[in-house]
Amino acid sequence: MDCVDFDALEEQARAKLSAPSFAFCATGADDEITAAENVTAWRRLRLRPHVLRDISNVDTSVSLLGSNVATPIMVAPMGRHRMFHNEGELATARGATAAGAVNVFATSANVLLEEAAALRGSAPQWFQLYMWAGRDGLEPLLDRVAAAGFRAIVLTVDNQVYGSSPRQMRATFVPSPDIRSVNLPGAPMARTAYDPENQGRVLFPTTWRELEWLAKRVPMDVVVKGVQRGDDAVRCAETGAKAIIVSNHGGRHLDTAMATADALGEVVDAVGKKAEVYVDGGIRRGTDILKALSIGARAVLIGRPILWGLATHGADGVQAVLEHLREELVRAMQLSGVARLAEAKPDLVARISDQP
C-alpha cells in the first residue's frame, strides 16, 4: 500500500466506504474549525535542526507507563471499526501488533475485548473507557479488562455530552443489528455520537469523584484522555492519573476548542514529572510527531489515518500507516540531528510567528 500521501489514502477510503461511514470517520463538530486546525497547527510549527551530530543509529524506543515499546506512535481509541472493515477491531489489533505499537481498544468496539487481547504482541494494549451512569455493568467490564491483561485504562472525559455534526446529519448513519457494542451490557446496536437520540443527553457523567474512584478501583494505571488545560492536567495527576492525553476528541464535539498542538505546551509545563503526557489530533507526518515529542509529549496517538488504512487494506493497512509514520519520524530525527527521543527538546521547535 502506498500511504506516503495521506490525502490520497483518505480518498481511497472514501471510495470504499458508504457515505455515512466515511462521514462518521471524517467529520468534526459544527463548522469543523477545530478538526481542521488540529492539522494546520502542527504545520505552523517549524523545526530548528542541529547539525554535525552522529545520527547513524536512530532509536525510537520509549517507555510508556513502565513498558518499553519500539515506537512512540499509538493507535488512538476509536470505536465501531466494523463500519470500516468486516473484521473490525481484530484487524486493527493485528496491524498494531505487527507494527509493535500500543493499541488503545475502545469501549464501543464491535469485537470482544478478549478476542483482541489474544492478538497482543510485544507492545501492551490499553483499554479506553466511557464512564456511564451506574456501576453494576461497569465493574464487571473493568474486571474483564484486567483479566484480559490490558495494562492501562484510558478514561475519556471530554464528551459527557456529544457534539453535533451537520456533515453526519446529511449522511445519516442507520444503526445496524450487525454492528454492536458487544462489550457493553446487552450488546446494544452501535449508534454514533451524532445519533439524534443522543443529542443533549449527559451520557457519560464523569467528574473528579469518578476519576478518584476509578484510580482506586482498578489494578492498572489510569490515563485521562481529553485534557486541554494545565490546571485540569495537574488535578488529574493529583487524583490518581498516571498519564494525560492532550486531546479535543479530533474536533468532533466542541468546535473552536484549541488545537492540540497549541494546548500541549501548557499541559507539559504544568504537569512536569507528575504524570506522562501524550497527544493526539491532526498528526499526519513524522515531522508532526517530532514536534510533539520536542514540546514534551512522550508519545502520540493516531486516529483517522488508522481508519483510512483499515478501510482500504485491513490489518495490513493499519500496519502500513504506523510503519510509514515511524519511517518518517526516523528521517525527521536524522535530519534534525536527533538520534534518540530524549534528545528532542523544546528548542527544536519554533512557531512561524516567532521567526524574525
The distance from CA 115 to its chain's CA centroid, rounded to whole angstroms, is 21
HSE-up (13 A, CA, CB side) for residue 151:
17
Rounded to 5 degrees, φ, ψ at 224 are -105, 125
The CA angle 130-194-137, to the nearest 5 degrees, is 30
Comparing CA positions, the residue from 244, 253, 247 lying closest to residue 228 is 247
Exposure letters 188-214 (e unless 16+ CB within 10 A, then b): eebbbbbbeeeeeeebbebeeebbeeb
Q: Exactly one of 50, 81, 85, 249 is catalytic; name it.
A: 249
DSSP character at residue 173: P
Rounded to 10 degrees, the C-alpha dihedral 135/92/303/183 comes to -10
Residues, the chain, total?
356
Which helix (H) or strand (E) segment holds residue 170: the answer is helix 166-170
All three cell numbers of 21:
461511514
Residue 249 is a catalytic residue: yes
Question: Taking the CA atoms of the chain, what radius of gyration do you get in angstroms?
Answer: 19
> 97 near 177, Cβ under 8 Å?
no
> 76 near 280, Cβ under 8 Å?
yes
Comparing CA positions, the residue from 128, 126, 130, 129 lying closest to residue 101 is 126
- Residue 241 has a CB neighbour count (10 Å cut-off) of 27
Largest CA distance in the chain: 61
Instruction: Show the beta-strand stretches assigned E in 269-352.
Output: 276-280, 299-302, 349-351
- Angle of helix 286-295 relative to helix 304-335, nearest 10 degrees? 70
The CA angle 106-107-108, to the nearest 5 degrees, is 90
Catalytic residue positions?
Answer: 249
